[in-house]
Amino acid sequence: MNVKLGNNNLEGTIKIPPSKSLSHRAIIAAALARGQSKISNIIYSEDILATIDALKALGINFRMEEDYIIVNGGNLHRKMDVINARESGSTLRFMIPIMMTIAGKMTFEGENNLVNRPLDVYISLFDRMNIRYEKGEKALPLTVYDTLKPGIYEVPGDVSSQFITGLLYALCLLDDNSKIVVTTPLESKGYIDLTLDVLNKFGICIKHDNYQVFYIDGNQEYKCCDYTVESDFSQAAFFLASACFGSKIRLKNLPLQSYQSDKAIISILQQMKANIKILNDDIIVEPSITYGTTIDLANCPDLGPIVIVLAALSKGVTNIINAKRLRIKESDRLHAMYLELTKLGAKIIELEDGMIIYGVDKFNGGICYTHNDHRICMALSIASQKADGDIILFDADCVKKSYPDFFKTLHDAQKDLIFLNKLEMARYVINDLDMQMIKLFEKRMQASFDVAMYKKENGLPVYDAKREESLINRNVLLLENQALKDYYLHFFKTLLTVSKEYQKNEM
């Protein structure tokens, strides 16, 4: 799916979708509880469907209704020995230890970038605890042969809290007590709070010593529970940014007492001097001039893409810090946002674990690539409000991963958007490539002139036929299609002729 977005603002009341993080946790807890649970306020995104399918491998039955799901949990047994987590990091990292509470071999698979997302935390634990496993060069597929045993689990806190959550869900089912010792400062503490809160609602008690040591009693039992999933602050963040850019919208039923880490978007906007008001559970943001500041993403990495858009359109300089984990998400989000926003005219310096962003008043229009990342796609969609021309998004259906109705929500809020067919998109791509070629051509002509001037100043022959022929032959070898080779030979020889004429005229 490809979409063209105009630069108009949104209008109306926006219903924010349910928290994906809490949906995963509640559905899994319900599956582990003997009896029937009802989980309300659910959307069936690709990631949530991946978790449901993984739990079916444990013999769990579901009745999926439009906005709620009935989970018939307990009586866990293996029905399959392969789980495909698709592209869901939460599904994978939560389910590995849970599946290991039941004897038998299990293979975990994934799709696209999930096969590269690190599982080193579990692999190190397996090595230390003599748990047999098999894997290749990439993280997936991973086959595990042994079950979890009670004990002391040392886990770093600065890689992903998902590993800790997975262990918390599983260790309480074992026949003796366990401890999780966090060996480095814990990032994304809010996600652990979400986990502990959901576990508590489903009857599991976990104690901890200031998040450094978690004490897990064995032989606990999950209790069935009716649970309503909160609205998602990470999705609300896109619309809060949209309101800063001029949209007249109201966001309803955001749980301001939530443990969600991404609630930090409120304090970030306040820090950037946005005009934001809170009335009960409604948040109202008026069009705002925002200002650069220092933004720490250590505990809220999912806010990264939209915060980068906000910073790129703020007065002054913004420093994004502690953002290295953005590189191991569905895409390398730091680099992806750098590539796409600089293409639109943003001024960004990319660092290893952050960015320095110099604010501009507006973006250019143009073609952007989503990098198959739902949050990149949604952030660029909101960026279109502050663009001089249309923004074309290539591969925009990646929003299905977390927010399948995202573009419907934009359309319902009066957003000017058109879905493009393959022919229309191909024409936009050709035009974009032509623009890139023009810029490259200008750079090549200048470089050719610089080379010629250097040769002239140093008494060297300006034209080197032998070298030009070797360049042609080298480049042709990179092409596999014979017809393309013939066209390229013609193109490159013409280019060299033009280059010579340019040098003569300039010199």
Estimate the crossing angle of helix 304-312 against helix 233-244, to 10 degrees: 10
Question: How would you write 446-497 as a 3-class SS string?
Answer: HHHHHHHHHHHHCCCCCCCHHHHHHHHHHHHHCCCCHHHHHHHHHHHHHHHH
* Distance from C-alpha of 25 to C-alpha of 48, rounded to nearest angstrom: 10
Beta bridge partners of 78: none
Estimate the crossing angle of helix 482-506 against helix 465-477, to 10 degrees: 150
The enclosing H or E element of 251 equals: strand 248-252
Catalytic residue flag (residue 416): no
Torsion angle of the four alpha carbons 124, 125, 128, 130, in this order, in degrees rounded to the nearest 10: -110
CA contacts within 13 A on the Cβ side of 217: 10
- Cβ-based neighbours of 507, under 8 Å, separated by 6 or more: 449, 452, 453, 456
* Distance from C-alpha of 253 to C-alpha of 16, rounded to nearest angstrom: 8
User: How many Å separate Cα 185 from the centre of its chain?
Assistant: 23
Helix ranges (DSSP H) in 66-175: 89-99, 120-128, 161-171
Peptide bond into 141 cis (omega under 30): yes
Of 47, 232, 262, 302, which one is the catalytic site residue?
Answer: 302
- Residue written as tokens 């926006």? 14
Cβ–Cβ < 8 Å for 29, 423: no
Catalytic residues: 302
